[in-house]
Chain A
Amino acid sequence: MEQALVIAAHGSHLNAESSTPTFSHADTIRATGAFAEVRESFWKEEPHFREALRTVDADEVFLVPLFISEGYFTEQVIPREFRLDDWDPELWTSDGTSADSATLTATDTGQTVHYCGPVGTHDSMSDVIVQRAKSVTDDPGVGDGFGLAVVGHGTERNENSAKAIEYHADRIAAMDRFDEVQALFMDEDPEVDDVTDFFESDDIVVVPLFIADGYHTQEDIPEDMGLCEDYRDGWDVPETVDGKRVWYAGAVGTEPLMADVVLERAADAGADVSAAIEQVRGETGETSAAGD
């Protein structure tokens, strides 16, 4: 039976670049030939969640949310809009960062849908954050002498949002790669505004755990951290703030290795994509044991 991959992302009515990482990761996976079809779908753009499955010919679909945290979108909006009527968040048996997958039937198309947890809470996301640090410093060995800040939105709408940030910060700290690792937030303590207060290191890599670059990652956070007075003025990488060098990475979701996390989610749900995972890891990052 042919298998398809559908990526579910937020998209935007206002920002043309919101969909760019989704297209990019879909193209990476498409090129592996691991799935008969790879289809992007969006909450705010088209194809909309409601109409994505009918554009897929395969009877079996792996549905992977390109979202950071488990919560409102992954537990309510996506299952509802994809008409996974028998969905229940209990099917993931998750503590907020441990979603796996659930197999359901879409009522409008009859397709079998393996509904996977979001990319943001998969273990291999830690590797992508590290890869993002390598990319922004252009140093594959980055770690010694560096602090790493993983930045998230915070709990404003969803307590799991902070959990995902802390989960990956803890995992990366356990790698003993960076001198210091700290989870920071936009709307709660510890706040990203005071980023330099939380590190001893002279070099700090700041990786926002966001899927796409937009208002938060390109306007809010740079201004809050003091990289610039006005985001329109831009900033250097690294930019000196309070005597420390801040290497601001922009949204982690734009890192090419994100395609690997999408594949890992599908693999965990039973898709036969191990060769594709090897290929994508080879093309977009270094092989790492962290996600094993």
Chain B
Amino acid sequence: MNADPVDALAATAPDGIAFDDLHVERDGDTYIFKTPEDDHTELGEEGLRDVAADSSYVDNWYFWHATAPQTDARWDFLRWLEAAEDAAVPDRYDALADGVVTEWGQLRITVSLGGDGERTYELRHVDDATTPAAALDGYDDPLDARELAKHDDDGAYRPLKTAPSLQTGWQFSALGPAHLVEAVHAFYPATVQNWHREREGELDVTHWHETVSRQTGIYGVVQTWDRGEGYEHVNWVAEACCDDSQCLKRREWGYDEETDLDVDGGGGAFPCREPCSLVVAAARQWTKLEGEQSKTYEFELTPSEKEQVEAIVDAVADGRADDVREADVYDGANRYRTRFLRAKLFDDEGNLCGVETKD
């Protein structure tokens, strides 16, 4: 397409244009140019060029057809970021002048108006919403997002891209539309495409049973955990792995086509369409562990010790163990409290209350 919006409009006008309240059509040897604010008829090409030259509708049409990526998912996502289907061009441009903000997982995307109707996309962590740009590390190559996505703020590896542990402290200050979508993909792979499929009513959900059934190799064993004996175990898996506190995707898969799980799927912007590789890998371990028969052990604990064991499990499960303050001996998961419990109740082999595991 021509590099200039007016040239592009003049070149396209013979075929007619109808987009975002801009209507251009041929009428014999002349053109009709209509927007909610303008209504011109019997325009020659020069006249058409004149009225187009100052029109934000033309800039807008040009951006969405010459600059923005044209594939459905990317285009739709970018349109959604500026609420293009809900707001007329003048209102939208007013909003874009201030910047339109959307949160996508832990990403904060701000779209603003550049010159000639171009859009500029600013990307940062939601927790950095009010951080001065000078305090953030600047990036402009969307592929750099792959490295940012690898580690959390403590430097720990993030095997799950959509875990709510994205590191802070960075900014992509001025991405173009195609690069914005690429950066989003690097942080949250395939989320734009699956979100789009869901909007179109075409999300291909693969449920737990089907996912487990196709596993082979070392993961084939998970099938033995799934023999039509109910789905309580899958509730536990989803509660453990798929809760919003663990993953920002909104779980859309259930036990099978007919059977939803009993736990909440979360409120994320983008869907989860099948159990991921982490869930399958964890399920392999649980399949082994859950193959054991329960036994009766006898331990003597004070009421506070029982509650302390529960507090420790809660702290670890909620990722809170490292946050318990060193001198907060009132918290059961405090390190001194836990060391005291171990000193008192464990024998030299690490057995709780001296009770051997394989008694």
Contact = CB atoms under 8 A, between A and B. Distances in A.
Interface of A: 12-16, 19, 23, 27, 43-48, 50-52, 54-55, 57, 72, 76-77, 80, 108
Contacts of A14: 157, 159
A44 B189 contact: no
Contacts of B160: 46
A27 B143 contact: yes
A15 B159 CA distance: 8
B302 interface: no
Contact of A51 (B143, B146, B157, B190): B190
A47 B71 contact: no
Top 5 A-B pairs ranked by shortest CB distance? Answer: A47-B189, A51-B190, A16-B157, A46-B189, A13-B159
8 contacts: A16-B151, A44-B159, A44-B277, A46-B161, A51-B193, A54-B194, A54-B197, A55-B193
Given A45-B159, A48-B277, A80-B214, A54 B150 contact: no
Contacts of B329: none
A72 B218 CA distance: 11
B277 A43 contact: yes
The residue in B143, B150, B189, B216 that gathers the most chain A C-beta atoms within 10 A of its C-beta is B189
Contact of B194 (A27, A44, A51): A51
B217 interface: yes
Contact of A12 (B74, B159, B193): B159
B152 to A, nearest CB: 11
B274 interface: yes
The residue in A15, A43, A46 that gathers the most chain B C-beta atoms within 10 A of its C-beta is A46
Interface residues of B, number: 28
A48 B193 CA distance: 13
Given A13-B159, A16-B151, A46 B146 contact: no
B185 interface: yes
A108 B185 contact: no
B17 to A, nearest CB: 24
Given A13-B159, A43-B277, A50-B274, A55 B214 contact: no
Interface of B: 69, 71, 74, 143, 146, 150-151, 157, 159-162, 185, 189-190, 193-194, 197, 204, 214, 216-217, 273-274, 276-278, 281
Nearest to A51: B190
Contact of A23 (B146, B190, B193, B214): B146
Contact of A54 (B190, B214, B217, B281): B190
A13 B274 CA distance: 18
The residue in A13, A52, A55 that gathers the most chain B C-beta atoms within 10 A of its C-beta is A55
A77 B217 contact: yes
B193 A54 contact: yes
Contact of A55 (B143, B189, B281): B189
Nearest to A41: B189
Contacts of B273: 51
Nearest to B150: A16
A44 B280 CA distance: 10
Contacts of B146: 19, 23
Nearest to B189: A47
A55 B157 contact: no
A15 B190 contact: no
B189 A76 contact: no
Given A16-B151, A54-B197, A57-B74, 19 more contacts: A13-B281, A14-B157, A16-B150, A16-B157, A19-B146, A45-B159, A46-B161, A46-B190, A51-B189, A51-B193, A51-B194, A54-B193, A54-B194, A55-B190, A55-B193, A72-B217, A77-B217, A80-B216, A108-B204
A13 B161 CA distance: 11
Contacts of A50: 274
A19 B159 CA distance: 11
Contacts of A54: 190, 193-194, 197
B216 A76 contact: yes
B276 to A, nearest CB: 7
A12 B157 CA distance: 10
B276 A48 contact: yes
A15 B143 CA distance: 20
B241 to A, nearest CB: 12
A140 B174 CA distance: 43
